[in-house]
Structure 1
Amino acid sequence: MTTMTPARYRVADRADETGDTVTLALEPVDAPLPAFRPGQFAMLYAFGVGEIPISVSGRYGADGLLHTVRTVGATSGALCRAEPGTTLGVRGPFGRGWALPAPDGADVVVVAGGLGLAPLRPAVRHAKAHRDRYRSVTVLIGARTPADLLYPAEYDEWRSAGVGVHTIVDRAAAGWTGRVGVVTALFDQLRVHPAETVAYVCGPEVMMRFVARDLARLGVPPGRLWLSLERNMHCGIGHCGHCQLGPLLLCRDGPVVAFDTAGPLLSTREL
């Protein structure tokens, strides 16, 4: 099977995460695809509708995949409506993932905005599993509203493993006692040695620009500050050029790119 031929995966389970977002648990119908690394993505194909890039948000069993999908267009809507038993097509793994493991003794900072927590969750789980290797692990999560926070049932599990978890929302709701504002407001929770910090960031591009800028101002080296970038990916193998960003083809050279490379390119608008 080539990287252009979808492998058949069956929806084994699904979980509603928010009002417009679901997590699909997929199991291979035939031979499984090669193992995915945290931060890589797959092309998910809804038969008869279309194909879109979706980051891997975790493993399901021995050979399965977890994908968290938000309803935006026709293909994502079809994926979000897929019930257990539905067969989907999957191509991958594609791209460069998170720079893991971080160096021993590093302060690990994860900053997520909205759906950006989905590709970061495998990195958080990796840091949690290897917590004793790092000086600190801190996860900062921003969302539009409390109802839009992804995977809230996991936060206490992460905290119990020595991971600092802090949340903030753009707009409060009844019963919300947490913080309100932008995710960079949570930087007052950081207790890190900036020069020894490794940061992983994913979310809306405007949010990532401000997060990366402010972390760099704190002293985090741009080469240790990793962003997951998104452009209009089609082929997944660097042939079609739809995802070009300056000299990069993000499906091949990304989606994870260090800020010292990505920073000068982030003013380039998507075509």
Structure 2
Amino acid sequence: MINPFKPEIAVITEVVKETSDTTTYTFRFKEEETRETWGFEAGQFNMITVFGIGEAPISISSGPSDTGFFQHTVRHVGNVTNALAKKKPGDVVGIRGAYGTGWPLHHLYGRNLLIVAGGIGLAPLRPVIREVMGQRDRFKEVEVLYGARTPGDMLFVREFPEWSEYVKLRLAVDMVPSGVKWDHKVGVVTTLFSEMSSQPSNTVVLTCGPEIMMKFVVRGLLHMGFSPDRIYVSMERRMHCGVGKCGRCQIGPRFTCKDGPVFAYEELAALPEEVLGGVGR
């Protein structure tokens, strides 16, 4: 980033409605110098400013190798994100970032990879999937388990056919509304464990979603023999100011904005459950 405290102007170039309350925005920095020097790692986040309203931390959902643009997939649940919902191509926002630590891609080369996502938690993992697609020969077996509340709440559905050419994609929903066709699993995402082919040997796990979901994902995988030092979680819901100054992202001795949002589960396992929220054992 050029200045961690100064938002850079970015233009919205495309708006894609994912679900009834979630939208993917494509951005391009206004200044050529910023476009040429700015970069990020999969799993990092930006602070998005809607001028006159405020700013909010949002994970980047495009791939680091995507050039000339970047994307954010946003659930509209607060003042800033609801104001962003009114924006259209050609409008501008402010961007600070990229912040935090990303997924450990350099540890994934030559290994099997298991990605477990729930709801909006697929957005921070989409950059990893895009990197796998662009460098498929660097990874061994790659499996993606994704769960959402209903079929209509699933993100990036239009991309699933292409993803399936590169990874094993398994889907689950909590419920299927009457009249909706669904050919996949019904149940929480952990019900897909009985169907997955991933085994503990030489497999690294990346997971993101509601904290209570990640708790049961981690618990189930540990019970199956997966190693805690090969399980990585994103605590993206704890992000706040981006620079670790406000203290609202603190988890025990760590700050999500600086030390995270991606952590090895082994780093967090010793912390009390009341500190971790839903992710503790």
TM-score range, shorter chain: over 0.9
The alignment status of 1:166 with 2:170, answered yes or no, reads yes
| In 2, Cα distance between equivalents of 1:103 and 1:8 | 34
- Paired position in structure 1 for 2:25: 24
Secondary structure at the aligned position of 2:170 is classed as: strand
Q: TM-score, normalised by structure 2?
A: 0.91
Query: CA offsets, 1:120-139, max 9 Å, x none?
Result: 00111112323233331000
- Paired position in structure 1 for 2:203: 197
Q: How does 1:141-180 map to 2 (within 5 A)?
A: 141-161=146-166, 163-173=167-177, 174-180=180-186
Secondary structure at the aligned position of 2:56 is classed as: strand
Structure 1 residues not aligned, in runs of 5+: none
Tell me which stretches of 4 or more aligned residues in structure 1 moved more than 6 Å: none
Secondary structure at the aligned position of 1:4 is classed as: coil
Q: How does 1:1-271 map to 2 (within 5 A)?
A: 1-30=2-31, 31-32=34-35, 34-59=38-63, 62-161=67-166, 163-173=167-177, 174-265=180-271, 266-268=273-275
- 8 Å CA contact 1:97–1:256 kept in 2: the answer is yes
| In 1, Cα distance between equivalents of 2:27 and 2:254 | 30
Identity of aligned residues (%): 42
Q: Residues 232 and 138 (structure 1 numbering): CA distance in 2 closer, same or farther, change over 3 Å? A: closer
Query: CA offsets, 1:63-92, max 9 Å, x none?
Result: 321000011011111112211111100000
Question: Number of paired residues?
Answer: 269
- 8 Å CA contact 1:168–1:178 kept in 2: the answer is yes
Secondary structure at the aligned position of 2:110 is classed as: coil
| In 1, Cα distance between equivalents of 2:89 and 2:141 | 39
Structure 2 residues not aligned, in runs of 5+: none
| In 1, Cα distance between equivalents of 2:149 and 2:237 | 22
Residue identity in the other structure for 1:233: M
